[in-house]
Chain A
Amino acid sequence: NAGVMQNPRHLVRRRGQEARLRCSPMKGHSHVYWYRQLPEEGLKFMVYLQKENIIDESGMPKERFSAEFPKEGPSILRIQQVVRGDSAAYFCASSPPLGQNTEAFFGQGTRLTVV
């Protein structure tokens, strides 16, 4: 059973370009969470999605950032018109739909560098 898969592992974009980060949850998991880790800081929650629905986007910047989790395929975090301050590690986590006190499993992250 493969873990949470994120790709690419490293992404370099020039200022003004678009960045698309992908996350495939663990098999059987229908909940996906995105986090951002700025250099030398902890992880900050961005958005929580279930299939075809955004449940909680309280941590998403109001502009340029969007996320989706379609019925088929991976979850996508999109950053439009990237700026240097977007340089960070972006982590995805997934969890199953049932049960209480169940942990979320993290991917290895995508490290975005904006030049």
Chain B
Amino acid sequence: GNSVTQMEGPVTLSEEAFLTINCTYTATGYPSLFWYVQYPGEGLQLLLKATKADDKGSNKGFEATYRKETTSFHLEKGSVQVSDSAVYFCALNAGGTSYGKLTFGQGTILTVHP
């Protein structure tokens, strides 16, 4: 079956530090890959996505590249801000038209200090 594995957390960084959150996946076929962000007490918001190999998703300074050869979709940001503190989820959709059916990783808590 499909699965997503994220790096263990939590991650604590100082403002303006470089961020990497690792994500690897197992899936049959050609999944679409997503990063979602969850702020305290809120629902999930789509941060970025990539739908095929070598695509790069980007948004708000965050980037992730769909690497089929390593089955990875690592999230990066060059300079984090305090406002980036949240829980980050990597997810995949196995394809077809049910694009709301997602397999999520366990989430990584990011805390950014001033």
Contact = CB atoms under 8 A, between A and B. Distances in A.
Interface residues of A, number: 28
**B interface SS class:** loop
A109 B105 CA distance: 18
Interface in A1-46: 4, 6, 31-33, 35, 41-45
Nearest to A95: B100
Contacts of A42: 4, 89, 104-107
Interface stretch (B14-22, B42-50, B64-72, B75-83): B42-50
B65 to A, nearest CB: 17
**Shortest Cβ-Cβ A-B pairs, 4 listed:** A104-B100, A42-B104, A106-B43, A33-B100
Interface of B: 4, 32, 34, 36, 41-46, 49, 51, 89, 97-107
Interface of A: 4, 6, 31-33, 35, 41-45, 48, 55-56, 91, 93-95, 100-109
